[in-house]
Amino acid sequence: PPDAEALGRGTWTLLHSIAATYPDVPSKSQQSDLFSFVKLFSRLYPCWVCAEDFQTYLGKEVPRVQSRDEFGIWLCGAHNEVNAKLGKPQFDCSRWQERWRTGWKD
**74 belongs to the binding site for ligand FAD (CB under 6 A):** no
Q: Of residues 18, 70, 83, 101, which one binds ligand FAD by CB under 6 A?
A: 83
Residue type, 13: T
Annotate each residue in 11-50 with x if it binds ligand FAD (CB under 6 A) or - if it does not, as one string: xx---x----------------------------x---xx
**86 belongs to the binding site for ligand FAD (CB under 6 A):** yes
For ligand FAD, which is the closer residue by CB, 6 or 28? Answer: 6
**76 belongs to the binding site for ligand FAD (CB under 6 A):** yes
The H helix count followed by the E strand count for the chain is 5, 0
Give the CB-side neighbour count of residue 50, counting CA atoms within 13 A: 20
Q: How far is Cα 29 from Cα 26, in angstroms, rounded to an integer? A: 8
CB of residue 78 vs ligand FAD: minimum separation in angstroms?
7
87 dihedral zone (left: phi>0; alpha: psi -120 to 50; beta): left
Give the Cβ contact number of residue 26 at 10 Å.
18
Q: How far is Cα 96 from Cα 32, in angstroms, rounded to an integer? A: 23
Residues that bind ligand FAD (CB under 6 A): 4-5, 8-9, 11-12, 16, 45, 49-50, 53-54, 76, 79-80, 82-83, 86, 88, 91, 96, 99
